Copies of this chain bind each other. A is one copy, B any other.
């Protein structure tokens, strides 16, 4: 058994196979945790999802905590970089906001179990990792807020806009986009609808 349970075996050409299986285990864990919550999802449940015995999981992860850490890492990967890239662009404020909304919602749709587990279960992480994630989220919130503040400075958005609150509410709406139940809930239509209301309002 690999040291610590989560370290891969030694032969280098076998690593990829090990890592592929580890990914499958992680997918199963994310699915069960998204469905039943971290404490509601037993390791027996996760093993059942995979069709293996419960101790087999420990060949790939040292602990349930560690699996949640990895799930959260995947669920948050790239967010900051994508938003930064959008802000570095040259388009109009409204298009940057549209792009930011779209970029945020995309993983919510493509890897919903990872994002959902991150959103709802990250508070059960060990404190060090939890605080680390908190800092990352704080940076993202700040960057999103900066996007709006730049729009205000440029004269594209209302000068009295509460950018902190507005950024928070936009992020909240993007996170909730996975729970939409309407007729056409495609990524495109959902992100466009959120952006439209945010930019131009609902009133005539």
**Footprint of B on A, CB under 8 Å?**
37-40, 94, 120, 123-124, 148, 151, 155-158, 161-162, 164-166, 168-169, 172-173, 176, 179-182, 190, 193-194, 197-204
Contacts and interface: CB of A to CB of B under 8 A. Distances in A.
A9 to B, nearest CB: 34
4 residue pairs, one from A and one from B, having the closest CB atoms? A201-B201, A39-B39, A200-B201, A172-B176
A113 B39 CA distance: 19
Nearest to A41: B39
Contact of A194 (B155, B169, B179): B169
A180 B204 contact: no
Contact of A199 (B162, B168, B203): B203
A35 B162 CA distance: 29
Contacts of A39: 37-40
A154 to B, nearest CB: 10
B193 A202 contact: no
A50 B198 CA distance: 45
A182 to B, nearest CB: 5
Given A37-B39, A124-B40, A161-B202, A169 B156 contact: no
Contacts of A165: 180, 182, 190, 193-194
A124 B162 contact: no
Contacts of A169: 173, 176, 194, 197
A150 B94 CA distance: 29
Nearest to A183: B164
A161 B94 CA distance: 19
20 contacts: A38-B40, A120-B120, A148-B202, A151-B202, A157-B203, A157-B204, A158-B203, A162-B182, A162-B193, A164-B182, A165-B194, A166-B197, A166-B202, A168-B180, A168-B181, A168-B182, A198-B202, A199-B202, A200-B201, A201-B202
A159 to B, nearest CB: 8
